[in-house]
Amino acid sequence: MYFPVKTRLIHIIYIALLSMIVASCSVDKYIPEGEHMLTGVAVTCDDEEVKKTYMLGDYVVQQTNSKWFGARVPLKIYMLSGTDTTKRSCRFWRKLGEAPVLYDSVKAQRTMDDIEKVLNNAGYMKAEVEEFKMIKGKKMKVLYNVHPKERYTMRKIQRIVEDKGLEHFIEVEDTANSLLKPGLPFEVTALNGERNRIAAYLRNNGYYKFTKEDIRFSADTAKYSTEVDVLMRVKRQQDNGRTEATEHKQYTIGKVRFLADITNPNEPTDSLHYKGYDFLHQDELHFRKRLLISHSLVKPGELYNDNYFRRTYTNYTRLGAISFSNINLTERPGTDTLDCNIVVNHAKPHSVGFDVEATNSAGDLGAALSTSYQNKNLFRGSESFMFKIRGAYEAITGLEGYEGNNYVEVGAETTLGFPVFLFPYVKREWATEHNASSEIALQYNLQNRPEFQRRVLTAAWRYRWTTRQQHEQHRFDLLEANYVYMPWISRTFKEQYLDSLGKTNAILKYNYENLLIAKMGYTYSYNSLGVREQTYGKNAYTIRFNIETAGNLLQLACHVLNGEKNNDGQYTFCNIAFAQYVRGDFDFSKSFRIDKNNSVAVHGALGIAYPYGNSNQLPFEKRYFAGGANSVRGWSVRSLGPGAYKGKDKGINFLNQSGDIKLDLNLEYRAQLFWKFSGAAFVDAGNIWTIREYKDQPGGAFHLNTFLNQIAVSYGIGLRMDANFFIVRFDAGMKAIDPAYTGRDHYPILHHDFDRDFAFHFAVGLPF
């Protein structure tokens, strides 16, 4: 008897699950005599706030067998092997699965010692940890019961400074900034923080040889008291145990020399002096002298500043024109002067790339080829220049009434980036400190289809910068102009879709007319861990906010100069109507770490765009879409909404299924599976809506009394593979609530149709 593929797949899953259940009944035979399988580990604490604050559960050395969504699937796979290790199938299943975790008393003792150490360092000097074992047959559960007891506090802080030059600063001037105050908890982290704070301040003020090891602490406790007297002693400088201790000296920077591309010190070098700096190089100097000076905070004649050296090194590593950088200091004998050598080597400026891709769009085969050229040091100032050309061809079938049956696309783009902030009154030092950059971009795209021909020309001027703490990123689009030109539209396409029997599709028609979009915008991003840190599986959150507006300056100019209007009452610029709108987006995501293998992530996004003035609706590129791998995953891309709208014509439906408002809500449980693979279970909700009523989108407008019933909901599971540089993601989603239907079809979770309600997604990167 023949079974459909879907039915056979379900049968295979059922058989596999049944096999694992049967195998689980015989787990005892995999546990040696006298040993116990660890089936549960828990940490309890007399003070739950202490447990939460110091994450005591993370110090458990030995965990139970790993779980996939609450089930010990790897262990079940292992138990399919049997006990005959001479069989190849046995070795295969054991290698694929995970052996039972056997209780280890040594690891249990390490767990108790580590927890006690953490609490001792936090001021709980008499903390105790008890271990309780609950044994049933060959299985064991372990409970670690933590008793923090009373916390020790600081009663008196005394400072003894052996170095008379630092005495007044540490004992008088700096006491207000001290991290050590009477009454505060006696914490090792506070003591270390105070050492690091004082050492950093002194090293940033010329004390080149001062280290945190020059600060020592001792504590005195009374027998029946939890108050501690702290003594901080600042030692004099002693280079080694054989030399006599001396006063710490403030060092000044002497000569600053740039050594550029000196590969062989025995070969002659060219040297020159410029604005107080020396430049030594072999062959030609690949950098402008101003570039090296402006990105260095180390200046002759100034006090040594440790922070300036770190930031200077960071500045050079961010420049694409530099492949290697290093900073060396040399002390002049018998003086308090440091000479600085800054070593920089240039990177290969030229690179060429090629990319070939094949496409299959609804059965229509095609191919694309692109090539790019990049220069990382165009004007010897680390300017980045990129030029890319792309060509694509697709054989289109099934079109009747059109001349030709192919799609041709040719595109070219170029960008020029500067490692400076090209804006009046902005100092070069500010740009260097904030890693600011400027970018000019130009792009042209040509599309020839049987239905129409389209040309798009884009020009942009952008700025980017970060904050000193490296948590915030800013982007300001000073100007981005998009000119859309339609030189030809097929009569068949025009009659069938644009002017069919007077039933003009306003959205479709608007996006097949010549249009100018001149916008400016600002984007703010925040990452609690740092802009370059990955938040996956960690306690972290990110925020992104964007606002952009278009057409206002053109509208004002046309109004003041009494500009011309077209037949639709729109102002035109060079006989082209321009778009006018405002758009704002807010995106928030947060992840909660459960343990090292499990986490939960939540995400919310809201976007609103409003056309006004010279526009009755948004350009297609600025409208919102719902569904797909990064939205509500029970729907395929751009197939959800707006509101309760239900499209019929799949040929042009992607235009009607767009809106002015978007809401996305996501909840995802993430679990590490094995090797580089992790899994996810998710619930998504959201939709899009239009601000105005459009006859081509019935049920798509946003209304306060109906929008809650129009929120779509889906659920599903996913698989991710971490390929180090990127994450490959597979998500399978099912519709739970479908706003396009009423009655029983409104709740597919209760009355599902697999062919209608299932969507599969392949993507690169996490959804949020």
User: Does residue 527 or residue 656 have the better pLDDT?
Assistant: 527
Residues 493, 614 within the same domain: yes
pLDDT in tens, 230-270: 999 999 887 666 667 889 999 999 999 999 998 777 776 88
Residues 132, 172 within the same domain: no
User: Does residue 727 or residue 656 have the better pLDDT?
Assistant: 727
Residues 48, 158 within the same domain: no
Residues 697, 552 within the same domain: yes
Q: Is position 26 within any domain?
A: yes
Report the distance separating Cα 10 and Cα 12, nearest Å.
5
| Domain termination site, one of 147, 164, 179 | 147
H or E element in which residue 18 lies: helix 5-24
Range 175-190 average pLDDT: 91
Report the distance separating Cα 686 and Cα 667, nearest Å.
12
Closest CA to 552 of 527, 522, 578: 578
Residues 26, 95 within the same domain: yes
CA atoms within 13 A on the CB side of 117: 8
CA distances from 429 to 46, 193, 218, 290, 469 (A): 54, 30, 43, 12, 16
Does residue 37 carry a pLDDT above 80? yes
Residues 677, 695 within the same domain: yes
Does residue 3 carry a pLDDT above 50? no
Q: Who's near 512: CB < 8 A, 6+ residues apart? A: 452, 486, 489, 498
| Sign of the dihedral defined by the CA atoms of residues 287, 291, 295, 299, in that order | positive
Closest CA to 418 of 317, 345, 323, 321: 321
Burial of 468 from C-beta contacts in 10 A (0-12 / 13-18 / 19+)? exposed
CATH of the domain at 26: 3.10.20.310
Q: Is position 352 within any domain?
A: no
Does residue 553 carry a pLDDT above 70? yes
| Domain termination site, one of 234, 263, 296 | 234
Give me the pLDDT at residue 92, please. Answer: 87
Helices 306-317 + 188-203 axis angle, to 10: 80
Q: Is position 192 within any domain?
A: yes
Report the distance separating Cα 588 and Cα 90, nearest Å.
48
Sheet (strand 277-281) strand order: 270-274, 277-281, 252-260, 337-346, 322-331
Residues 64, 79 within the same domain: yes
pLDDT in tens, 625-641: 999 889 999 998 888 98
Give start and end residues of each alpha helix (H) in 530-657.
Answer: 552-560, 653-656
Task: List, in sequence order, every beta strand (DSSP E) within 267-306.
Answer: 270-274, 277-281
Does residue 138 carry a pLDDT above 60? yes
pLDDT in tens, 470-508: 899 999 999 999 999 999 988 888 877 777 545 556 777
Are the CB atoms for 89 and 79 separated by under 8 Å?
no
Residues 576, 505 within the same domain: yes
Does residue 654 carry a pLDDT above 80? no
Q: Is position 183 within any domain?
A: yes
Phi/psi at 532 (nearest 5 deg)? Answer: -105, 10
Q: Is position 307 within any domain?
A: yes
Does residue 21 carry a pLDDT above 70? no
Structural domain that includes position 378: 366-764
CATH of the domain at 643: 2.40.160.50
| Domain termination site, one of 183, 206, 234 | 234
Q: Is position 247 within any domain?
A: no
Residues 181, 203 within the same domain: yes
Q: Is position 326 within any domain?
A: yes
Residues 56, 117 within the same domain: yes
Q: Is the bond leading into 300 cis (omega within 30 degrees of zero)?
A: no
Closest CA to 665 of 682, 681, 685, 683: 685
Structural domain tally of the chain?
A: 4
Give me the pLDDT at residue 277, please. Answer: 95
Question: How much is the mean pLDDT over the chain?
Answer: 88
- Sorting pLDDT into bands at 50, 70 and 90, what band is 229? very high
Residues 516, 499 within the same domain: yes
Q: What percent of the chain has pLDDT over 70?
A: 92
CATH of the domain at 200: 3.10.20
Residues 206, 257 within the same domain: no
Are the CB atoms for 583 and 622 separated by under 8 Å?
yes
Q: Who's near 504: CB < 8 A, 6+ residues apart? A: 498
Q: Is position 600 within any domain?
A: yes
| Three-state secondary-structure class, residue 199 | helix
pTM of the model: 0.82
